Copies of this chain bind each other. A is one copy, B any other.
Amino acid sequence: MTDSPEYLEKRAFYDSLLTIYGRKPVLEALEDLSLPVHKLHLATSNRRDHLIARLEQLATERRIEIAHWDRKGLSRISKNARQDQGVALDLALPHYGTAERFLQESQAKYELLALDGITNPQNLGMIIRSACAGGIDGILLPRKGCAQIDPLVIKASTGAVFKTRILRCDSLAATLEQFRASGAEIFGLSSHAEDTLSAINSDQPKVFVLGNETRGVGEAVARQCSRLVRIPMRNNVESLNVAVTAALISFRHQL
């Protein structure tokens, strides 16, 4: 390992790769000229039907490299042998990267969402869509314990996943600790909190942690929160959908 500029640049590029899979999502991505595509992966076991021919044609027209793999090789790339349908595509997304990198570059003022155990792909997609529209600066998405960016999530986000800074990390608790050390304030959303969202008036960078749909924020992650806050709710409603919570946080300066 070396930290030479070439190495860092290369690594940043690979960190920005998002691999999607499945025939329809890959076709749609190839047809969308605004998406920067890196490489098309095809299983050699694919029957060469109309759709595969169309994928190859689109890739050739767009001068995108095509790699052929046996079934096992392809599933190592898609990481989802059951649903990849023998097709995967690497997108090189400028807004897709790592929490680590964001911290290295980060500006004085930002607001992020951090997702802890958000397992429902519909919710993840809707969170990304709402947060992006509300102007959040990025979404911390751990590699484990959360739904991952897959065709369902892309669809539910109505494409917002391609415009939002998605920051991947391994352990969310450890990453939040780094953010805290760098001067960010970490707010855990909890319906049991005393303070409401509107009580926040600091100028520090902020990370809002959204927990699992039923269990809330996990213990290790909760320990990294400087403060718990809640959305003020009327009529004894006990909780909100997590994507609605994400929207209320992201839009709160603009309503």
Chain A residues in contact with chain B, CB under 8 A?
126, 129-130, 132-135, 158, 160, 163-164, 197-198, 231-241, 243-244, 247-248, 251-252, 254-255
Q: Give the contacting residue for A244; candidates B244, B254, B255; CB below 8 A.
A: B244
**A130–B240 contact, CB under 8 A?**
yes
Q: Give the nearest-CB partner of A241 in chain B.
A: B126
Oligomer: number of copies: 2
A-B contact pairs, 17 of them (CB 8 A): A129-B237, A129-B240, A130-B240, A130-B244, A133-B234, A133-B235, A133-B237, A133-B240, A158-B238, A158-B239, A160-B235, A197-B255, A198-B254, A231-B251, A244-B247, A248-B248, A252-B255
Chain B residues positioned under 8 Å from A231 (CB to CB):
133, 251
With the chains together, A235 CA to B232 CA distance in Å?
27
**B198–A235 contact, CB under 8 A?**
no
With the chains together, A143 CA to B75 CA distance in Å?
49
Q: Give the nearest-CB partner of A165 in chain B.
A: B235
Chain B residues positioned under 8 Å from A239 (CB to CB):
158
Chain B residues positioned under 8 Å from A248 (CB to CB):
247-248, 251, 255
- Expressed in whole angstroms, the minimum distance between the Cβ of A5 and any Cβ of chain B is 30
With the chains together, A158 CA to B214 CA distance in Å?
12
Chain B residues positioned under 8 Å from A251 (CB to CB):
231, 248, 255
With the chains together, A255 CA to B197 CA distance in Å?
7
With the chains together, A179 CA to B202 CA distance in Å?
43
**B237–A126 contact, CB under 8 A?**
no
**A237–B132 contact, CB under 8 A?**
yes
With the chains together, A251 CA to B234 CA distance in Å?
10
Q: Give the contacting residue for A240; candidates B164, B240, B247; CB below 8 A.
A: B247
**A235–B130 contact, CB under 8 A?**
no
